[in-house]
Amino acid sequence: MMRMAGSLVFWGFVAISSLLLFPIGLVLWLGTAPFDRRRTVLHRFTSLWASLYTWLNPAWPVRLIDRERLYEAGPAVIVANHLSLLDILVLFRLQSHFKWVSKIENFRVPVIGWNMRLCGYIPLRRGDRQSVIAMLRQCDRALAEGSSILMFPEGTRSASGRLRAFNPGAFQIAARNRVPLQPIIVRGTAEALPKRGFVLQGRHAISVQILDPIPASEFADRDPEETMGRVRELFLQHLKADEP
């Protein structure tokens, strides 16, 4: 009952704060759109907005590990494992500029989805070939304009907590645009907020570990499937080290 009550308070706070903060985001968009093509100001505001929910929640202490390794000298393709809805909030704690690639259903969520569209994040309808082609073009355009993109190569959250198979899209995009790959490992979010359900599971430490970026020169001329396998193995090695 305590967890249920705490969850209701948390999601109520998310809803109320989103209603209050979205108009600020809309004003920022209106004021900066003519000269801020990449929506850097609005994305920074959105990063702060999303970070509020972990900063103010003592049950979710988030630790950034090796933040200095994050590639910010130019655009990159950021790839992270996906365990929970909470992953989205904690990755905003990077406070770095990027465009999310997200399932189109998220763009339909009132207020939050509207803000995603204003930020120029990139929608994807799973299983729709035309949507995949449009997503790839938008990623190419974002990278050409200097924005990194952030993708979950598993495609969806892992219900078991184990790393799922990767999809090749992120690795194809990085190779085609000759930009670095930036691997990031998220831990602890599945225990804090499992895939099925919205009940918070008490206090759980969460970490976001930034691994060394992989220069484009190491994979741009190779088969993206090979690069995909290499990066997934890198994830597995780090996650296996956590096992008792």
pLDDT digits (tens, 9 = 90+) for 54-63: 998 888 899 9
Structural domains in the chain (count): 1
pLDDT of amino acid 1: 66
The strand order across the sheet containing 77-80 reads: 62-65, 206-210, 181-187, 77-80, 148-151, 98-103, 122-124
Higher pLDDT, 14 or 161: 14
Higher pLDDT, 131 or 198: 131
- What letter does residue 109 receive in the DSSP assignment? S
Q: Which residue range forms the structural domain that includes residue 137?
A: 2-240
Listed in sequence order, the residues at least 6 apart from 102 whose beta carbon sits closer than 8 Å to its beta carbon are 116, 121, 122, 123, 124
Higher pLDDT, 131 or 7: 131
pLDDT of amino acid 166: 93
Quick check: 126 pLDDT over 80?
Answer: yes
pLDDT tens sequence across 30-57: 999 999 999 999 999 999 999 999 998 8
Q: Which CATH number is 39's domain given?
A: 3.40.1130
pLDDT of amino acid 227: 95
pLDDT classification of 157: cutoffs 50, 70, 90:
confident
